[in-house]
Structure 1
Amino acid sequence: MKNILIAFVVLLTLSCKSSDTPKSPDKVLVFTKTSGFRHESIEIGVKTIEALSKQNNFEITHTEDAALFTPENLKQYQLVIFLNTTGDVLNAEEEKAFETFIKNGGSFMGIHSATDTEYDWAWYGKLVGAYFLNHSKQSSATITRINSTHPSTKHLQEKWVHFDEWYNFKSINQDINVLLNLDESTYEGGKNGAFHPIAWYHEFDGGRSFYTGLGHTNESYAEPEFKQHLLGGILYCLKR
């Protein structure tokens, strides 16, 4: 009986030590290469994600070097974020490596002009969920929350008034799950009509994808609602 009790105490102690061991941080690659328009908010965007990483047990690598998109290098990451990328940013081999990353269960997150990227790569268009068509002038507009349980939107009110540059989209992937819809009656320049998704998520080709059309302005990255929106997207992509 005594031996059984001792064994139980040892097992309990080992179990407690195991549960107290902190989980190693998830690794996130933040990619900001541009070959078209370059957003001034890229720098503050990177700093914002870095601050979020320190508070939420993930670590980031920031790069504009597309040569890092190799099968071996991408294996170490759980998530790749395209932060205000524009134009043709990956060559054919780098594209193939990124497709393999997603097919192996990796996640993708696009912010703002990630939809203004890689127009000739149809696979990417389906992954990000739509392509940029044009945009309105920067203004305040009302966003309607469609999903109240997703980690990127559950903190928001049903109606959210936000100042940004509002994208119109083309080639919208019909398989996306809309999180936020833009109310075109509240600003000028909308071209998508009643169905104007501005943030969404979906599973695609083995991995997860999240996109938000917000994030043009520097000021956005200081807004608590937007920062929580970004964090929720990251946590979804990290499968937490």
Structure 2
Amino acid sequence: MMRRTLKACAALAASFFAASIFTVSAMAGPAPATMAGTAVLDCPLRDAPFSADSPLIDLLLSPEAKAIVSRDMGAALDRAPPRFMGTQTPSFAAILTLRKAAGFFGMPADAVDRADGELRKLAVTDADRKARCARYDDDRLEIPAARKSAEGKSAARAPRLLIFEKINGFKDTPGVEAAHALFVDLARENGWSVTSTEKGGAIRAETLRNFDAVIWNNVSGDVLTLTQRKALQAYLENGGGFLAVHGSAGDPAYFWDWYADTLIGARFAGHPMSPQFQDAKVRLETPSSPLAKGLPAEWTMNDEWYSFTTNPRKAGATVLATLDENTYAPKGVGGQDLRMGDHPIAWSKCLGKGRMFYSAIGHRPETYSTAEYRTMVKNALAWVSQRKACVAGE
């Protein structure tokens, strides 16, 4: 599978936009408040040398680094759309590197290499560290005592879900809100407890122990500190559940390899642009799985169809559904070939004792109201929130 071209990456980004998002908690009144922000001491890449592979936002935040890029790139940088150059998150600059952006900005390879060499000579100052860490937080999620879990886990207790919505990269507000509404509706219909947050500080052991599963709602951009990353990984490996949809695996650049390669198990290659949204046939691959309960053998949907550079099967995933590439045009900008052949679109896997489910479906808000997708997500939430060790292939 070919890697996504830089030009295609940039063209896809041209259709993106950022906006604010709300936070709610179902079945328990308003969402819990968070504590005042505290200093973040261990954000990823805090001390990393500047380079052409740094998050573009970090180069733009440093006057010295930005001056090098501006000098070596010349007018090419001026041609970048404003959405590429934002230094306040959410920003596409948080999920892009200078090297990946080179094709779109019209930067010759030698200019990028020259800038890379100069950037690596820059000293990383305390001001740089502060700027890099500003988009992370360590704000605790306060949970009322009445809602905290008991030490013993009762099999009869309703699942407790945490919707996580901190987004530093691309925020597609309509899709995020539609997904959020679906999660809340399903919780109400099934008697599940659900809480939501936009704070990375919620991803800590003492908070996660109060939830059976975490939902990554179209989370784009690097959002967790090193400590929070370890907490999420430990939570999943010890039996926690994880469900992610669409944009949670749609970034051009990732700065946490475990998330992309192990947790999700695939990296984004691109999606069609002409047209961006197309009808395609989804085929159920594992009809005997509890994840398939109530789903037809195949159905047609209209959505934005992701392709990936690697197949999640290679990372140990059990594929629930695939795309029939003969039913839509898997071509990106400039005719980019997005065919995968075997094209998983929703899959699950075990991570230690924990359960993970990802669906690449879900850009269009309308998608979240279709009967098939509601059923798929309901099944997935019930599956990931089970309080028993995951068994591969189940």
TM-score range, shorter chain: 0.7 to 0.9
Match of 1:120 among 255, 266, 277: 255
**Which position in structure 1 is the counterpart of 2:232?**
98
Match of 2:258, as an amino acid? W
The range that moved more, 200-209 or 146-155, is 146-155
Match of 1:205 among 341, 352, 362: 352
**Which position in structure 1 is the counterpart of 2:288?**
149
**Which position in structure 2 is the counterpart of 1:8?**
none
Match of 2:300 among 130, 155, 161: 161
**Aligned residues, how many?**
220
User: How far 1:150 sits from its partner (Å)?
Assistant: 2.2
The range that moved more, 110-119 or 228-237, is 110-119
In the superposition, the TM-score normalised over structure 1's length comes to 0.86
Q: Give, in whole Å, the separation in 1 of the partners of 2:329 and 2:207.
A: 44
Match of 2:269 among 109, 121, 133: 133
**Which position in structure 2 is the counterpart of 1:180?**
321
Q: Give, in whole Å, the separation in 1 of the partners of 2:263 and 2:211.
A: 18
User: How far 1:152 sits from its partner (Å)?
Assistant: 3.0
Match of 1:121, as an amino acid? W
Q: Give, in whole Å, the separation in 2 of the partners of 1:127 and 1:222.
A: 27
Match of 1:127, as an amino acid? L
Q: Give, in whole Å, the separation in 1 of the partners of 2:244 and 2:303.
A: 16
**Which position in structure 2 is the counterpart of 1:15?**
none
Q: Give, in whole Å, the separation in 1 of the partners of 2:180 and 2:373.
A: 14
- Cα distance change on mapping 1:120 and 1:206 into 2, 3 Å: farther
Matches within 5 A, 1:1-240: 23-39=156-172, 40-116=174-250, 119-125=254-260, 126-136=262-272, 137-173=276-312, 174=314, 175-189=316-330, 191-239=338-386
In the superposition, the TM-score normalised over structure 2's length comes to 0.53
Gaps of 5+ in 1: 1-20
CA contact (8 A) 2:311 2:344 kept: no
User: How far 1:148 sits from its partner (Å)?
Assistant: 0.7
Gaps of 5+ in 2: 1-153, 332-337, 388-394
Encode CA deviations 1:136-190: one digit per residue, 9 max, x unaligned: 1111101111111223323222221011100011233311111101111111125
Give secondary structure in 1 for the equivalent of 2:163.
strand
Give secondary structure in 1 for the equivalent of 2:322.
strand
RMSD across aligned positions (CA): 1.9
Match of 2:373, as an amino acid? F
User: How far 1:114 sits from its partner (Å)?
Assistant: 1.2
Q: Give, in whole Å, the separation in 1 of the partners of 2:187 and 2:380.
A: 13
CA contact (8 A) 1:50 1:59 kept: no
- Cα distance change on mapping 1:25 and 1:156 into 2, 3 Å: closer
Q: Give, in whole Å, the separation in 2 of the partners of 1:231 and 1:63.
A: 20
Q: Give, in whole Å, the separation in 2 of the partners of 1:32 and 1:22.
A: 28
